Structure 1
Amino acid sequence: MRPLNNVALPFESYGVSHKGCVRQINEDSYLMEPRSGLWVVADGMGGHDAGEVASATIIEHLATIGIASSAPDLRARFEDRLRKAHSDIRDISDQRGATIGSTVAALLVMDGKFACLWLGDSRVYLVRDGKLSQVSRDHTEVQELLDRGAITEAEARTWPRRNVITRAIGVSDDIAVDFRQGEIRPDDVFVLGTDGLTAHVTDAEIEASVASTMPQAACEDLLAKVLARGGTDNVTIVLVRIRGATDGASSEPLAGGR
């Protein structure tokens, strides 16, 4: 059987980013490069404009990824740019005399396979056959407590330090990226989101929105829910749908956002 690839199964993707209802600036950034098979969200931290600088530095480096020759080459290019961004952010931190950094959650797709790579609490979900699963696993203090059985799921939802992250780009001497990989299928939908999304919208609501409509409408519906519920943080959402053979003959990867 011929393998799926970036031409045979083009992508339809859409992204939105908003400062929310409380924050003065938006420290999130995102990137969609369907021709490269790369989508990214990043949530900066550090106060004032420092978080914005950190997340933007990641995106600027990853935007140079180009067209890879294979899935392993794509991942190698991604990790190379991420290390360079980490180094630059560390230099900026030294110049400012303050620690700045950013989470990152990325989707890479090539040759019928996907890889999700992340640090921090920005997430990647997969909606397959109408059912949502969380691909990434939060690098947070509360997740570590859950993993050890020190607290329950109910306690985690109201834990006072639930937003304390344990890994990020630019914060420590080195970076430790987690990843998961698998095979893509027609009509798979990947959802990348910063914690401003998951703070206000449940997994069930994400599943329902994504399963019932196209990426642009789903993004705008989820953003509207976040803002209607107070939008206490910046929020960024990127949806990527693997288009099936019945969607038409075009081989162009479609993308949009705001």
Structure 2
Amino acid sequence: MNDAPNPGPGFETGCISHTGKVRKANEDNFLLRPEIGLWAVADGMGGHENGALASATVVAALEAVEAAGSAPDLLAMLEGSVLKANAELRAEIDRRGATMGATLVCLLIHRRHFACLWSGDSRVYLIRGGRIVQVSRDHTEVQDMVDRGLLTPEEAKRSPRRHVITHAIGAHETPELDLENGEIADGDAFLLCSDGLTEHVVESEILAAVEAGGAQAACDALLALTLERGARDNVTVVVVRYRQGASERTRWMPNRPERGSSTP
């Protein structure tokens, strides 16, 4: 288990990563760099040795990102690092003759601007004003089928193919990242996680944990809940809360359904 809170200027950060109750090794990796406004979670694929290498390769590439003078510069550095990681993984795949890759979810914050980027089914949520919204959209076969009206969300959760991923770093010659961006407001909290959390925990429980206390306490509580329910996969959770002590307006409105604390 890795427990690494890091507050950073203007942010309260909590993080926890655990192998779970079934897997023999932890293929997840994470990055906390609040001093430059970067947080990330990567979930490896391809067997425990190859998966761990894949997620570590992605996180190591992100370590090269430096403090930026603008939000576009920060985004450009991150995208360059992802391209580098993808090239390294493609070369390793050719060398080993093995399938490997990593999902990735990143949070970038520069002044009052945020950007969420992802590839795969690791997720990022925004908790704002007592409500939660999933910012990311899973890159999976079943999510594509839900979007096309071929499956209901309930059917997708039960599908044996719910973990078949359509995008991942290293999976293709050119990585595909989706992006959502906007402005943050005082009290906003972001939660980044691997799918080991969302396999067992629903959005209303994530909301309750984040609203109940500090960022690290939320991570601890969500891991405990996951372990209680069997933790069939590695689980990594990062919570980032923005605190400036000022009343702020934001121009970003989620384009996906929100849920309040009373939602089951």
Q: TM-score, normalised by structure 2?
A: 0.89
Going from structure 1 to structure 2, the CA distance change for 1:164 and 1:94 (only over 3 Å counts) comes to same
User: Structure 2: which amino acid aligns with 1:90?
Assistant: R
| Partner SS, residue 245 of structure 1 | coil
* Distance in 1 (alpha carbons) for counterparts of 2:154 and 2:180: 27
For residue 49 of structure 1, give the secondary structure of its aligned residue in structure 2: helix
CA distance in 1, matches of 2:208, 2:92: 41
Instruction: Say if 2:219 and 2:237, in contact at 8 Å, map to a contact too.
Output: yes
* TM alignment of 1:11-90, pairs within 5 A: 11-90=11-90
Measured on the aligned residues, the alpha-carbon RMSD in Å equals: 1.2
Distance in 2 between the 1:69 and 1:211 partners?
32
Q: Would you say the 8 A contact 2:209–2:218 is kept in 1?
A: yes
Q: Which amino acid counterpart does residue 188 of structure 1 have in structure 2? A: D
Task: Indicate if the aligned counterparts of 2:127 and 2:133 stay in contact, CA closer than 8 A.
Answer: yes
The answer to whether structure 1 residue 145 and structure 2 residue 145 are counterparts is: yes
Task: Give the Å deviation of 1:173.
Answer: 1.3
Q: CA deviation at 1:244?
A: 2.9
For 1:210 and 1:183, the matched residues in 2 are separated by: 20
In structure 1, what residue type is equivalent to 2:224?
A: A
Deviates more, 1:155-164 or 1:9-18: 9-18
Query: Residue 177 of structure 2 aligns to which amino acid in structure 1?
Result: V
TM-score by length of 1: 0.91
Which residue of structure 2 aligns with residue 161 of structure 1? 161
Aligned equivalents of 1:175, 1:64: Cα separation in 2? 18
Distance 2:147 2:216 in 1: 35
Q: CA deviation at 1:212?
A: 1.5
* Pairwise CA distance, 1:48: 3.3
Quote the residue 1:117 is aligned against: 117
Distance 1:91 1:31 in 2: 23
Alpha-carbon distance between aligned partners in 1 of 2:54 and 2:48, rounded to the nearest angstrom: 12
Listed as ranges, the matches of 1:238-257 within 5 Å are 238-245=238-245
**CA distance in structure 2 between the partners assigned to 1:216 and 1:244 by the alignment:** 19
SS at match of 1:14: strand
Aligned to 1:105: 105
Deviating runs (4+, > 3 A) in structure 1?
none
Q: Structure 2: give runs of 5+ residues left out of the alignment.
A: 1-8, 247-264
Q: Which residue of 2 aligns with 1:218?
A: 218
Measure the CA separation in 2 of the matches of 1:174 and 1:77.
Answer: 16
Secondary structure of 2:15's aligned partner: strand
Question: What per-residue deviation string (whole Å, max 9, x for no partner) do you get for residues 74-93 of structure 1?
Answer: 00000000100000011111
Q: Which residue of 2 aligns with 1:206?
A: 206
2: CA distance between counterparts of 1:223 and 1:166? Answer: 27
Matches within 5 A, 1:220-235: 220-235=220-235
1:111-149 deviation per Cα after TM superposition (whole angstroms, max 9, x unaligned): 211000000000000000111000000000000000000
